[in-house]
């Protein structure tokens, strides 16, 4: 657990605010983020990169709430986007288009027009066909598009297969052996300007060695290109640094950056990084309330009001999220934080923590030892990244509210959706 979510006595707090107060004011399920935690993680990068020309481009898809983007923008961060929609979010949140890199295998003409019009820092191009399309679109606007090629370094990130992106068989980037030929081609296209090279090998990496292996392969390409007179201004090593959800031991941000800087010794190119999860993941929790306890023959279930539509990671990747009671010692008197129930119900038991959705895959956690009563509040930890941003409206469930805690202040960062909003665009035939 991070320092920003902690117990005082038997109650769980976000910074200076009891989570029970947030549930009382904004209801559940509710995402709660700590501004100090967001700031702290970004500062760890900028501190470690002191004295080196760099840009941290926060990966917007990890958590794209405008309030979060604004916190990072105000600290000088850039942004890594994967859609035109994310670009519009960045601009709406006060982000600087000149600090935006645009990744993704399927950029549409409309997205290219939007990004060229905004004047982004760089397109991270992922195929020959995309190079040609970008050249045409830029030409039609009388513009020159800044380009980096996303190279697939063919290294094993040793992470979950769904979030491993740097192997030959993955759909991402241009093949390592074809990169030089593609750079030559790009050099000859009139409406492109080659500015950099990038890679992104996967997410939730808990070791430094795959990053270093990828960096070394990228640097070999940079040298070959320089030999041909193609001099790049920046090297973008992507994101992917993991966080601790359970018992993982990822390197600290400072150690990860130091390792990269070691591999980059003697190089003068600007370094770009695209961290997402490590900036936001442990800066947020999902607050949920126990609706029912159900004691089955083989298993005990705690049915909570958050579900796979709110937090998809357990259902999608069988991911582990720690789950803590907001009230550690439920007393016989019912209360809004601790719930209420018989002594038997308040016993510590192994629970399946499940949502109300009609899918057996709808679980938040398996076999958790908890002493909880019906109506008790639970905090699902490490939910700041790939939580709300992957949420859906499955089962016509309005999406959760989001709040940002800043010291003893709570800001509503997104109102809970209403059911009317969900079908506002639908028509009877
Ligand atoms: C998702 C993504 C990231 C961020 O990955 P994290 O694991 O959240 O750090 C960075 N760059 C690209 C291209 C991505 O697709």
Same domain, 211 and 168: yes
Query: Does residue 57 carry a catalytic annotation?
Result: no
- Nearest atom (ligand 1) to Cα of 202: 7
Q: Distance from the CA of 143 to the center of ligand 1, in angstroms?
A: 28
pLDDT of residue 274: 98
Same domain, 200 and 104: yes
Same domain, 15 and 118: no
Q: What is the pTM of this model?
A: 0.96
**pLDDT tens-digit map of 151-209:** 999 898 777 777 677 677 777 889 999 999 999 999 999 999 999 999 999 999 999 99
Q: In 3D, which of 153, 107, 102 has the Cα closest to residue 127? A: 107
Handedness of CA 311, 315, 318, 320 (dihedral sign): positive
Looking at 253, 278, 303, the residue that finishes a domain is: 278
Maximum Cα–Cα distance for the chain, whole Å? 77
pLDDT at 1 over 60: no
Per the structure, how many domains does the chain have? 2
Looking at 278, 309, 342, the residue that finishes a domain is: 278
φ/ψ (deg, to 5) at 154? 55, 55
pLDDT of residue 227: 97
Distance of alpha carbon 239 from alpha carbon 337, whole angstroms: 38
Ligand 1 site residues (CB inside 6 A) read 59, 61-62, 80, 82, 103, 200, 203, 238-241, 274-278
Looking at 278, 300, 320, the residue that finishes a domain is: 278
The average confidence (pLDDT) of the chain is 95
428, part of any domain: no
The answer to whether 383 touches 311, Cβ cutoff 8 Å, is: yes
- Nearest atom (ligand 1) to Cα of 278: 9
Res. 115 pLDDT band, cuts 50 70 90: very high
Domain harbouring 174, CATH code: 3.20.20.10
pLDDT of residue 359: 85
259, part of any domain: yes
Q: Whose CA is nearest to atom 3 of ligand 1?
A: 239
Considering the candidates 57, 122, 327, 358, report the single residue annotated as catalytic. Answer: 358
427, part of any domain: no
The answer to whether 269 touches 308, Cβ cutoff 8 Å, is: no
Distance of alpha carbon 314 from alpha carbon 302, whole angstroms: 16
pLDDT of residue 236: 98
Same domain, 251 and 290: no
**pLDDT tens-digit map of 35-62:** 999 999 999 999 999 999 999 999 999 9
Res. 2 pLDDT band, cuts 50 70 90: low
Tokens 């770009």 belong to 272
pLDDT at 95 over 90: yes
Residue-wise over 359-372: b if at least 16 C-beta within 10 A, else e? eeebbbbeebebbb
- Look up the domain containing 51 and give its range: 35-278
**pLDDT tens-digit map of 322-337:** 999 999 977 778 888 7
């Amino acid at each position: 657990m991070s320092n920003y979510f902690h117990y005082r006595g038997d109650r769980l707090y976000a910074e200076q605010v009891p989570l029970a107060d947030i549930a009382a004011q904004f209801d559940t399920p509710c995402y709660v983020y700590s501004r100090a935690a967001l700031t702290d993680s970004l500062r760890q990068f900028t501190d470690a990169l002191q004295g080196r020309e760099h840009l941290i481009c926060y990966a917007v898809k990890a958590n794209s709430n405008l309030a979060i983007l604004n916190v990072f923008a105000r600290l000088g961060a850039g942004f890594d986007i994967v859609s035109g929609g994310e670009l519009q979010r960045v601009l709406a949140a006060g982000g600087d288009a000149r600090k935006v890199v645009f990744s993704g295998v399927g950029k549409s003409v409309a997205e290219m027009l939007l990004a060229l019009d905004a004047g982004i820092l760089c397109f991270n191009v992922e195929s020959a066909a995309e190079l040609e399309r970008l050249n045409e679109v830029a030409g039609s606007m009388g513009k020159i598009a800044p380009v980096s090629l996303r190279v697939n370094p063919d290294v094993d990130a040793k992470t979950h297969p769904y979030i491993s992106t740097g192997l030959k068989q993955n759909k991402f980037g241009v093949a390592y052996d074809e990169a030089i030929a593609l750079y030559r081609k790009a050099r000859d296209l009139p409406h492109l300007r080659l500015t950099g090279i990038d890679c992104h090998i996967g997410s939730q990496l808990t070791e430094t060695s795959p990053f270093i292996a990828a960096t070394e392969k990228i640097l070999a390409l940079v040298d070959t290109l320089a030999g041909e007179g193609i001099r790049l201004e920046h090297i973008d090593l992507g994101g992917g640094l993991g966080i601790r959800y359970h018992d993982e031991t990822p390197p600290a941000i400072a150690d990860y950056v130091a390792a990269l800087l070691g591999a980059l010794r003697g190089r003068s190119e600007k370094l770009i990084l695209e961290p997402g999860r490590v900036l936001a993941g442990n800066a947020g929790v999902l607050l949920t309330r126990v609706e029912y306890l159900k004691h089955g023959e083989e298993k005990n279930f705690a049915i909570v009001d958050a579900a796979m539509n709110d937090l998809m990671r357990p259902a999608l990747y069988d991911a582990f999220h720690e789950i803590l009671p907001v009230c550690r010692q439920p007393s016989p008197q019912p209360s809004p934080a601790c719930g209420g129930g018989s002594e038997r119900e308040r016993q510590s038991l192994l629970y399946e923590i499940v949502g109300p959705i009609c899918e057996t895959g709808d679980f938040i956690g398996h076999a958790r030892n908890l002493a909880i009563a019906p109506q008790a509040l639970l905090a699902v930890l490490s939910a700041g990244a790939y939580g709300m941003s992957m949420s859906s409206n499955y089962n016509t469930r309005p999406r959760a509210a989001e709040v940002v805690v800043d010291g003893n202040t709570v800001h509503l960062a997104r109102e809970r959706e209403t059911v009317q909003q969900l079908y506002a665009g639908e028509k009877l035939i």
